[in-house]
Amino acid sequence: MSSRVLALALAAAACQAPAPAAITDAERTAIRALDTEFAQKAMAGDYAGLVKSYYAEDAMLLPPNMAAATGHAAIEATLRGFPPVSSFTLTAEEIEGAGDMIYARGRYTMVLNPPGAAAIPDSGKFMEIWRKQADGSWKVTRDMFNSDVPMPAPPPAPAP
């Protein structure tokens, strides 16, 4: 390689922006604490507080068997449509990212309590995308979850 080509290659490499810093253990701990707070507020029925502290203004909730909910008002309305929750645990199994973005993948367990019906235990998985906000806090911008519990069998077809 000629010295000019080498000099140009080195100059180009020097102009590259540095890679964003990997997330820290402190940031992983913060995400786990926010997930715990989410579950506590859900069990308390504090959906307004939960949405404000957990989700970015333009966040999107992607629940199973429902349309996506975008923004605080739609996310709160969607969460209020679920039966009351008496037990709820979020366990992040993977938290990775760099710079101002983190993704978390994990499992959840919960017990839903529809009024006048038997409690419904549920467990499944979730995926969250977090962004660091201007004030330094972390907020969810995308939240998707789905159950591992099989759907109930459809009722038998009526006899002819």
Give the pLDDT confidence score for residue 7 in this predicted structure: 56
CA distance 112 to 126: 17
Percentage of residues of the chain with pLDDT beyond 90: 78
Give the pLDDT confidence score for residue 83 in this predicted structure: 95
CA distance 156 to 160: 12
CA distance 106 to 93: 5
Give the model confidence (pLDDT) of 83-124 as tens digits. 999 999 999 999 999 999 999 999 999 999 999 999 999 999
Contact 154, 130 (CB under 8 A): no
Helices (H), 45-145: 47-54, 72-80
Q: What are phi and psi of 24, to 5 degrees?
A: -100, 165
Domains and CATH numbers, the chain: 20-147 (3.10.450.50)
The more confidently predicted of residues 147 and 2 is 147
- Report CA torsion sign: 118, 119, 123, 128: positive
Give the model confidence (pLDDT) of 23-54 as tens digits. 999 999 999 999 999 999 999 999 999 999 99
101-137: b (≥16 Cβ within 10 Å) or e: ebbbebebebbbeeeeeeeeebeeebebbbbbeeeee
Say whether 46 sits in a helix, a strand or coil: coil
Whether 1 has a pLDDT exceeding 60, the answer reads no
Give the pLDDT confidence score for residue 152 in this predicted structure: 80
Angle, CA of 123, 37 and 142, to the nearest 5°: 65
